[in-house]
A and B are shown apart, each in its own frame.
Chain A
């Protein structure tokens, strides 16, 4: 059974058909690329998968359970985490607080034990402090734990956003153009990090990226969108030579 399966997923915004008949199946620990020109509907697909919008038709199955139309935080609790195209960090908080905030759902002490600081509070807080530091050290950011997230350099902010998404302990991670605005060497570093995450945490990753050449290198499978429709899907080599993909990217 695939980890995530979307069948016939589509959405209308008023009269505008933003996405139609979107089909995807992601196996556990698979790295899938979602590409397409500007305005093709890639981020819309992400927003549907994570519950920001409810699809007007179709089903989304996460481990066999339909999650279409559920609230974003419920979907996150069920195992899908995401990052955003325009970075959305908690800029006023320190790096480690950003990560700890995302640990919220797998802590269980109640409001009263929080206020009265019962033993459970200390135990769980100590545990997530350790967990957050470990997660940051994967990204070589443990020494930046107390820095204000808004003061981090751009590349580090992107990495912190990924770390925060991982802190929710997802089974599937959705990365929305993580390389946007990065220079070639930063991009290469990021791609290495993505590979590392997949191996180390054993999770599946769905990656949106503009740069075809880049995703070709790391993705096992790709889905190409144009004008809200899937125009091709398959292995990178197949995609590279697909005439419809070439047309969408280069024009006739």
Chain B
């Protein structure tokens, strides 16, 4: 009986620690070293849970024209990264907020196109702040979210 009580208490604490009240903008950090290195050379390596698998698939198949840049990689690396990103994509998670309003026949290529991203940024961030040279681009999460690489986006 005592063991059961202890187990229940430990579980409750674990759940409380994992999801503190209000902290709902957390995404598992990039755990694959190759993905972190190759994607992270030009921009922060975005968490796979920000886009559905079909989006990552399309992105990894069009790297030679990656938003106007040649981001191509050797085929083996491309495939390894594609596998990691698609396996951990937003639509592989249970009730991902990033999937809200994303229709099944839509393959978004930019995280900034997603309704969830827009909802979180459009009202809160003025056009003037986007033009700040320290920000430079909407892909520069780290300009405002200091712990973005750890998947923590609640600091706004």
Do the two chains bind? no
Residues of chain A whose beta carbon lies under 8 Å from any beta carbon of chain B: none
